[in-house]
Amino acid sequence: MSDEQRRDSRPGRGGAQVAVERARILLAVRRNLDAERELRRALADEPQHAEAHAVLAVVLARLDRSAESVSEARESVRLAPDWWYPHYVAGRMFYYAGNNDEALHAALAATTIDPRVSSIWILIARVHLARRELAWAMAAIREGLTHDPENSELLSLMSLTLTDARDVPGAVAWAERAIRLEPESPLAHFAYGSAVRATDNPQRAYDAFREALRLDPTMDAARDELLQTIKRRNSVYRSLFDTLHAESRETWLPYWIWAVLFACLAVAHWGLWVLDSILVTSISFHRTHRHLLAREDLRVARLCAAVLGVGCVILLGGKVAGSVPVGWIGVAILGLVTPMQVAHTEDGPLGKRLLWAWSALLAVVLAVSLVMTLLAASPYVFEPVGFWVGCAAILTVWAPAGVRKICGFGQRDDNTTHR
């Protein structure tokens, strides 16, 4: 029996149930506002209809009304605590809201009612993947496959899990099986692209991500990975990226070597983001690939490119004028690319605002220092300002871990699904 049949096994409730089914059809064709109107009409006739509340929660999540969706899901669970579907929907809503603990609790509650539903195990696997609990994710996937051995989504999630575990051959095999079972699954092609990305044939990853995006143009993860694959065609970018994302670190090194290593990594991060800004800006002029760029990514890339231009002009001006303080300010302006890119990539909204404020503060300090340097009788008094502000800008790369812990708690890492 399929998940949909199990959901429909509960008795209907007349006109309200008909409206719920109409809403489901509208939801399938992405007419979310029309679906909401149908469900509001059903609940006006029958306020205690648990399924209407559950489906309305899904609709509201698609409309990015997270708080309302969670509230509707809770109401559905209250009205039908002995039915797996409201618990499953509640788990999905918590997952979309970034509350992985509540999502896992709700999903496990659903399994106690009906452990045969593969959708519940998919949700549990996604929560564990978001929490980087690979062993638990694999266990959930295997449990789901015992009930639905030909579920392409479970196979794709196993491939993604093995990719995270650095088992490339296994990941490729599971993804190929998922594609054979469901050739039109964007997640299966995404999983295959993620698996083969580390092989010697990056063109296969490029083709897989393009196919995933063709099948689902709203799949942001496929768009991001396709864009990353295009950037990695640049050998310098690829070398920097692979070096900075290597997970092996020697823990026995002396502290002074760690300090040098952190400084070198901070500069390497800056170089990677400089190259990223240049590549994104150049891609924006490419007729074939410019549609892959999100507006915010392009805006930040162009802003960084402008900052680089200003920094180069001031650095060159200081060189021509023989002014070392002006030259240091130019160098520090070049370093502003790091806090700007760190702010852009931060997940938590409060952390993002704090990092943008930090970037603005550094820019203001540099602007004031430049003016004071040009007007001062002894400009060398301001020479340390450019040096230390530049160091602060470059070393911002190490700030997000603390910012994310304080301000971005509960953010969800997995973005291979859509509401």
Q: Return the closest-CA partner of residue 315 out of 305, 328, 298.
A: 328
Q: Whole-structure pTM over 0.85, yes or no? A: no
Q: Got the DSSP string for 70-89?
A: HHHHHHHHHH-TT-HHHHHH
CA 385 to chain centre: 36
Residues 17, 96, 167, CA angle at the centre, nearest 5°? 120
Confidence of residue 233 (pLDDT cuts 50, 70, 90): confident
Question: Whole-angstrom Cα distance, residue 275 to residue 295?
Answer: 18
Q: What is the pLDDT of residues 31-90, one digit of tens each?
A: 989 999 999 998 998 999 999 999 999 999 999 898 899 999 999 999 999 999 999 999
Q: Return the closest-CA partner of residue 294 out of 358, 412, 235, 213.
A: 213
Q: What is the pLDDT of residues 276-324, one digit of tens each?
A: 889 988 998 888 887 888 888 889 999 999 999 999 999 998 888 888 8
Residues 145, 205, 272, CA angle at the centre, nearest 5°? 120
**Taking 50 as the threshold, does the pLDDT of residue 198 lie above it?**
yes
Residue 29 burial (CB < 10 Å; 0-12/13-18/19+)?
A: exposed
Domain ranges of the chain: 255-407
What single-letter DSSP state applies at residue 11? P
What single-letter DSSP state applies at residue 14? T
Residue 307 burial (CB < 10 Å; 0-12/13-18/19+)?
A: buried
- Considering 149-163, 255-269, 280-294, 319-333, the range whose residues carry the highest mean pLDDT is 149-163
Structure tokens at 263: 């400084």
Q: Got the DSSP string for 18-32?
A: HHHHHHHHHHHTT-H
| Helix, strand, or coil (residue 302) | helix
**Taking 90 as the threshold, does the pLDDT of residue 369 lie above it?**
no
Q: Are 318 and 329 in contact (CB under 8 A)?
A: yes
Residues ≥6 apart with Cβ < 8 Å to 226: 193, 206, 209, 210, 213, 292
Lowest pLDDT segment from 149-153, 235-239, 358-362: 235-239
Assign 3-state DSSP to the chain and report helix, strand, coil percentages, each to 5. 75, 0, 25
**Taking 90 as the threshold, does the pLDDT of residue 15 lie above it?**
no
Q: Are 246 and 374 in contact (CB under 8 A)?
A: no
